[in-house]
Amino acid sequence: MSDFKVLIIEADERRSRELKDILEFIDYASEVVPDRANWNRDMEDPGDYLAVLVGTCRSDKALDKLLTEIHNTDEHLPIFLLSERGKEPTVAIDAGSCILGRWERPPSYSPLTNTLHQAQSYRDILKNKDEAKSLEDKGKIVRDLDTI
């Protein structure tokens, strides 16, 4: 089983169950949150999550608000938008955004597996980048101490 969980934000019980079953089959733990307003209520550490799969929202405005909240909670948490063919949300994906892509329903094994590998790569790159920044900062502190 993966060390990370996948957060599914989806109000439709059938759709969320379908995703949860597929994730379980490919050995990923998942957590389903049907209420967008309380999506992070039980989240202790955003770093425990590999990705967030965001399902249907009432409107693009509600989706924008949710995406902003996710970004404000953890700016590096990968997000994938789920939609029916022809009903894609019109949310803009900005450069530097953690929205890594859109995923069409109905779910299938191969695209979901690719999505999760992409999320893992994204998290690994950011972790390595943060570690390099931390080492760079520590090196700067040591150099600053040498000048005292």
Please write the tens of the pLDDT for every residue from 50-105. 999 998 777 778 888 888 889 888 888 899 888 877 666 666 556 456 777 777 77
Residue 86, sorted as left (phi over 0), alpha (psi -120 to 50) or beta, turns out to be left
106 cis-preceded (ω within 30 degrees of 0): yes
pTM value > 0.85: no
